[in-house]
Structure 1
């Protein structure tokens, strides 16, 4: 008989389940049209306007093909603008449009609310520790090129 893991003690399974909870909360309370990954792109472009897709991928911890797809979709909806870099014509620089900034503004409050809802599932004294643990796990691949799994 094959050996089996106790999934309720398996970190990968719990992270996947936590992501499912986050996605469900996002869909119900933040947006049915804009995903949390698209939100990360909008938020990053608000903080760092005029960056290229490679930098955007690094700052959002998304692979370049995913960022390419998200940027194309957000550009089609007039939330993101693209202009050629005058110093390096091979690069395209990205910024939020006015519509993109308005959209982001409308999403920030609900995004903060679900972040708090997730943290509220933990005892107050463990919240900062939990965020630190998740950051440690998330940083395990900080040295990878983010070109896919």
Structure 2
């Protein structure tokens, strides 16, 4: 029987929960990515990646998790992972040190009790060039 990764998306309060069920690895990652990218976005980019029923994760699947996680943050949102995690999934996160870098909640209940961060403020304007220099009073190098 071929392995599968089923993607389920649901709204929970101010979060969109993306549950991954099955095995996320080379044979399944392409379809899983298409399913994730096709999800409706109703709550902005405040995502919980529910890994409680993910039974296997390889480096290709890990790359997809990181892509989704970092894309949400890049668009001014946030993302976190929730478990409980299967031992082999937790091991992949531990040996890559991502268990120290990503927000991981032990349960979905814990993840849902967190508050999304306030909307990101626009970045401060950059200094404008003036007379060849950037407001330093010095001419630009030639």
Q: TM-score, normalised by structure 1?
A: 0.24
Q: Which has the higher strand share?
A: 2
> Per chain length, whose mean CA-contact separation is higher, i.e. which structure has more relative contact order (CA < 8 Å, sep 6+)?
1
**TM (normalized to structure 2)?**
0.24
Q: Which one has the bigger helix percentage?
A: 1
